Amino acid sequence: MTLLNIAVAGSTGRMGRTIMETIAEAQDLRLSAALEQPDSPYLSQDAGGLTGTPCGVVINSDYASTLTGSDVLIDFTRPAGTLAHLAVCRQSGIHMVIGTTGFSAEEKEIIRDAAKDIAIVFAPNMSVGINILFRLLEVAAQALPAGYDVEIIEAHHRHKVDAPSGTALRMGEVIAQTQGKDLEKVAIYGREGHTGERAASTIGFSTIRGGDIVGDHTALFAGIGERLEITHKASSRKTFAAGAVHAARFLATQKFGLFDMQDVLGLR
């Protein structure tokens, strides 16, 4: 069996550890590199020790040298770090799975440009359930008549630094695109004070941060006399890690191009 060599960025974080656990459990995958920031207290330690299964891969901060021999880098870090890692991967011909959120429009364009040379799966949420939810939102947004107000509510743990979540924004984009709208023109991010009546055709966003909530997302379509709620709740990061390694396997069959989880799961 040919093993797929996967490197993990932000390997000592919550998602990084879960991804390494998922790789260790798979017969066709091998952890080829575990990467962290130069000031990480975990440098030079066995990455497998973080998950209870020593593997001989030492945590390192030198991406340029450590990524040698890797087929795919899975990155759930911060935008600045991901873009730095992207430059190394593009130079080295290493594919990327990007689950980082919070990119600006200009930063997303850098990712699109890099996909001319390497294959990239870029998605705000790797969960199978969430990506099915995106399809359900298309159906609802297309079928419901005008007059249904749309609100998106998301909740995450206290450590999440961007808001609304990338998943919530993608939900808004799916609904807006299906209805022929530009999300930038119709989105309302929070309300305070005397706001007046709700403007027609807008899409509202509400953000909750607290405790250890892994990720809850709801799209509310509120009409007169009824409302439809489409909800996804993640109870474990395992669902995102499983999606990420599934995306890595998908990239093994690609030479270059920009993909998302809809492509990976055959939903498009």
Contacts of 143 (CB under 8 A, 6+ apart): none
Report whether 113 contacts 151 (CB < 8 A).
no
| C-alpha closest to that of 218 among 98, 160, 136 | 136
54 annotated binding-site participant: no
Q: Which residues pair with 154 in a beta bridge?
A: 207, 217
Cα gap 111→105, rounded to integer Å: 10
Per DSSP (E only), the strands in the chain are: 4-9, 29-35, 59-60, 72-75, 95-98, 119-122, 149-156, 187-189, 203-209, 215-222, 227-234, 257-259
166 annotated binding-site participant: yes
13 annotated binding-site participant: yes
Check 95, 108, 116, 160 and give the catalytic one: 160
82 annotated binding-site participant: no
The length of the chain is 268
Distance, CA of 210 to chain centre: 20
101 annotated binding-site participant: yes
Cα gap 5→134, rounded to integer Å: 30
147 annotated binding-site participant: no
Report the alpha-carbon angle 158-120-209, nearest 5: 10
Check 156, 181, 217, 232 and give the catalytic one: 156
CA dist list (Å): 68 to 28, 57, 63, 125, 210: 19, 13, 9, 27, 39
Q: What share of the chain is helix, strand, coil (3-state, %, to 5)?
A: 35, 25, 40
160 catalytic? Reply is yes
190 annotated binding-site participant: no
11 annotated binding-site participant: yes
Cα gap 245→239, rounded to integer Å: 10
10 annotated binding-site participant: yes
217 catalytic? Reply is no
99 annotated binding-site participant: yes
126 annotated binding-site participant: yes
Query: What are the binding residues?
Result: 10-15, 36, 99-101, 123-126, 157, 166-167
Which residue numbers are catalytic? Answer: 156, 160
Query: What are the binding residues for (S)-2,3,4,5-tetrahydrodipicolinate?
Result: 157, 166-167
Query: What are the binding residues for NAD(+)?
Result: 10-15, 36, 99-101, 123-126
